[in-house]
Each structure stands twice: as C-alpha cells, then as structure tokens.
Amino acid sequence: MASILIKNIRAVDNITDKTTDVFINGGKIKKLGTDIAEAADKVIDGTGLVLMPALFDMHVHLRDPGFTHKEDVLTGCGAALAGGVTGVLAMPNTKPPCDNPETIRYIIDKAKGTGVDVYPVGCITGGMSGNGLCDYEALKAAGCICISDDGRPVENAENMRKALELSNENGLLVASHCEDLSIINGGIMNKGETSEKLGVKGMDRASEDYITAREMILASSVGARIHICHVSTEGSAAMIRFAKSRGVKVTCETAPHYFMLTDKLLEKRDADYRMNPPLRTPEDVRAIIEAIKDGTIDCIITDHAPHAAEEKADFEKAPNGVVGLETSLAATLTALYHTGEISLNRVVELMCINPRKILGLDIPAIKEGSTADLVIADINRKWTVEPEKLHSKSKNTVFKGMELTGKPLVTISKGEIRYNES
C-alpha cells in the first residue's frame, strides 16, 4: 500500500479545524504537523483545499440484484467514491428483496475491493409485503445492521411494533419510510398549488406526518430506537423535535433536495424532479434548514435512487427517485455552508460522523492512528452539474444544469486513493 503525504491542507472534522500536513501509511494517519519530511510514494499539495473524514450515506439504492440496468453495486460504489463517500447503507427493495441471508451476503461480497463499505439493509417483513417478520437474527449474522421496508411503510401498526421490539433485542436499527400509502393513493407530487395547476394527483403531507408520529409512538412504547427516513415536511420536523425533547430514541435524516428545492420545479413536467417523499413548499424548505441547525435532523443523506432515462421519460407514469451520491457534498456546501447557515464542522458531523454513530460503526477522525478514510475537497470551486458526466449508470439528477460551489477532488479509502478527479 502506497504512502501519501498531503501538504499544507485545512483539516476539518467535527472538532478540528486547522492547517497541517498529513502523512498516511499502512491505511492509517501516521502523523500530523507542519513541515512533515517523511518520504512518501504520493505527495499532494493541499494548499487552498479542505481535508475531511469521508462521507457515509445511510440511504442509497444500489438496485443490485434485480435492477442492474439502473445501477449495480460496482457502478454505485464508483458514484459514491466520486462524491467523497466511502460507506453506504443499501436499501432492501431489490429483486429478490434483502429478506434472506443469501442476498445480504451477495451484496457484501460484490462490494469487496471497491473501496466502499456497503452495508445491506434487511427487510422488516418477508418480501417487503408488510406481513410476516423476517428472521432478524439470521439477517444480523449475515452482516445486516439495519432493517427497513424502505419504499413503503409497514402498514399494520402491530407488525411494526413487534418488529421494533424484536430489533431492539437483536441490536438492529429500524429505519422507516414514513408515507401512508392509502393517503398518497396514486399521488405523484406534493399536494398543493402546483399539483392543482398541473392537474395531477398530489400526495398530502399528512401521509408523511401521520406515519412519522406513529413510528415514534410505537418505538416509545417498547423502548426501541427508530430512524425516520428522508424528512421533508415542517410537521414531521416539529414532531421529531418534540419527541426528542421527551426522550424518545428517535434519529432522522434529510436530503439536499429537501432543503434546496420546491415543488415549483414540477411545473417543467420533468419526472427527474419527482421523488418520494416529494419536493415541498418554501415553508417546508425553511423548516428543514432550521431542523438541521438546531440538531433535530441528525444526518444528510441522498436517497440515491437511479432510474433509466426511458423509465423517466413520461412525467406522470415515471417511477419516483433521483440520484445524489455525486452531488450531496456540493449541494450541502452550496445551500448550508456558503450561505452561513452551518459551519464546516457541522457539515462533517451531519455527513460523516452522525451516520456512523447511529449505526454503531467506527468513526473516522483527522488524528494520528485513525483509519485514513478521507476526502479532499475544493469547497470554493464552482461547477455545473452535467448528468452525462456522472459515474452512476442513471443520470436522473435533480441538480442538472445547476451551478454548485464545492467539489470532492480525491477520495481516500483505508489509506488508498480510490478516486482522483485529475
């Protein structure tokens, strides 16, 4: 394994913010300080750049097995590395679904050697049917650390309560996609002025708020942890804030599009702006930003959901979902850091530290002896998102044509350079 010396770089984790040299050898950060003179196989001039712990995205869809025309484990990991991400939590709505140890092991084995730690999420119920709980002990033994029926909630509340109870016994995190399907009832975007203007069926925000409240009530009843996926509404953020103040063991996440964009974009009748939950209103965007700032929201994720161009061609019939692994850091820097909403230390906390902490994984830091999972970024570089240049198989990005400020340049996984833009 080659040694790396990074000279004169601004090193930032959730605590540190200083200019230093960094010497990496044997997969570890061996030395920090000024004027490090150790000979290295690779020397990087970090002047004007920022070094951070690599990102962990705890909500992605790799589409493998079963939907590899959209994405597969290898291309998904390539997209992750291009975005500064060295760890992902891969959702279970594959074909077959991740409701058995064999599928879990297949994904883990395929990801070996990619430079990205892939943690498959197991299903809560068999086939994500909502009925019949999976064998959580067997899923955990195969390498599962989290369970979810992501893409749909467990519709029966008692089944969900039992799942929370059993997951607590097995030390598994439960992550919930909070949308009531009977309320959505065929809606394809946020219910409001824009959906009415377009004459299409909307998704009432009650669908998200109701299941969010239900999950926290159920988790509290059995003393279990619950993780609320992709928070998008003012109401859900407020309820999570209240639940946390009451001691409920709840954590949650949001994605850049929910604190940057609104449903007005749907006036283009372009399905690349459709996802679940949908883009909301300016009031929701502001509420999500405030929830990030006050600590209600724990993590920024992408809900990276690749779909082929032909699948996205029909605005009203297309599947929901957008890719995001390669734009998440840039979007967050653009919307939250460069606007003065949060500090760079807080960006690291939201995108690098908290996801791993919630999942009970080792937490990288910029200190001697720490595993060298790192990203070098030019946080001031302006660039325009060009879908055709993305590493993902699918190009359905909500940020297409947008200028973002901040870009990952080099991704280091366990001391090895896995992505280098140059």
Domain CATH number, residue 207 = 3.20.20.140
Distance between terminal CA atoms of the chain? 20
Has residue 3 been placed in a domain?
no
- Which pLDDT does position 257 carry in this prediction? 98
Give the pLDDT score at 119.
98
Residue 261 lies in a domain: yes
Q: Is residue 72 part of a domain?
A: yes
Number of domains in the chain: 1
Residue numbers annotated as active site: 303
pLDDT for position 295 = 98
Tell me the pTM.
Answer: 0.97
Q: pLDDT value at position 1?
A: 83
Is 376 inside any structural domain? Answer: no
Domain that holds residue 86: 53-359
Residue 291 resides in a domain: yes
Q: Is residue 399 part of a domain?
A: no
d(CA 163, CA 311): 34
Classify residue 356 as exposed, middle or buried by CB count within 10 Å of its CB (0-12, 13-18, 19+): buried
Structural domain includes residue 11: no
250 by DSSP, 3-state: which?
Answer: strand
* pLDDT given for residue 422 in this prediction: 78
Within its chain, how far is the Cα of 208 from the centroid? 18
pLDDT at 151: 87
Alpha carbon separation from 56 to 246, 247, 351, 352, 369 (Å, rounded): 28, 26, 6, 5, 20
| Domain assignment present for 31 | no
Question: In the prediction, which pLDDT does 406 show?
Answer: 98
Write b or e for each residue in 286-299: b if 16 or more Cβ atoms lie within 10 A of its Cβ, otherwise e: ebbbbbbeeebbbb
Identify the segments of the chain with pLDDT beneath 50. Answer: none
